[in-house]
Chain A
Amino acid sequence: DTEVTQTPKHLVMGMTNKKSLKCEQHMGHRAMYWYKQKAKKPPELMFVYSYEKLSINESVPSRFSPECPNSSLLNLHLHALQPEDSALYLCASSPRAQGNQPQHFGDGTRLSIL
């Protein structure tokens, strides 16, 4: 069982909807990440949070809005998404965001945009 928990597992939404993805870890990690993964492709980094502060945004469109309320939680707020945003969204965590720390992934949220 993964120690990074993501909810919901599946989400279907229309292009005008607003929804949020949630991620939780209780390993005491201080770095958390959002990735996007399309079918048969590797994960692509979207955002990195270090000590609850956004440290990297990989030029992600503003319709994706991350939030880190505390060291255990990471949210991804979604608004006005496009069909091409349909993908598996993965959360990961690591002890820190420096020094090449091992990243541990959740099982993701499979998002479908109608």
Chain B
Amino acid sequence: GENVEQHPSTLSVQEGDSAVIKCTYSDSASNYFPWYKQELGKGPQLIIDIRSNVGEKKDQRIAVTLNKTAKHFSLHITETQPEDSAVYFCAASPPGGGNKLTFGTGTQLKVEL
């Protein structure tokens, strides 16, 4: 089955700096890679996703890059703000039925003033 590793487990940045979270996956057949943000007391919120036919996707201050050859993908947040502080999860999904997601272990991002 799929296995997703995520690094770092904690990340502290100054407000305005950039933050990068990296994930690697094991199943070369995986073709869908969402990123979720989970704030305290809330459920995971889908913030961006990418499919394997695309190398990069941007949405305002958030971008995701995918390297299929190396089987890794990354989340980039620019101009970080205190409200970006949360736990971020990457996930990977192979094709086929069930739409099953395998999550990474999560990154606690803290944006300090």
Q: What is A's interface to B at a CB cutoff of 8 Å? A: 2, 4, 6, 31, 40-43, 45, 48, 50, 55-56, 90, 94, 96-108
Contact = CB atoms under 8 A, between A and B. Distances in A.
B46 A102 contact: yes
Indicate the size class of the contact surface on chain B. Answer: 20 to 34
B99 A100 contact: yes
The prevalent SS among residues of B at the interface is loop
Interface in B11-48: 31-32, 34, 36, 41-46
Interface of B: 31-32, 34, 36, 41-46, 49, 51, 89, 93, 95-101, 103-106
Given A94-B99, A100-B32, A101-B99, A106 B43 contact: yes
8 smallest A-B Cβ distances: which pairs? Answer: A100-B32, A42-B103, A105-B43, A107-B43, A97-B99, A105-B44, A56-B98, A100-B93
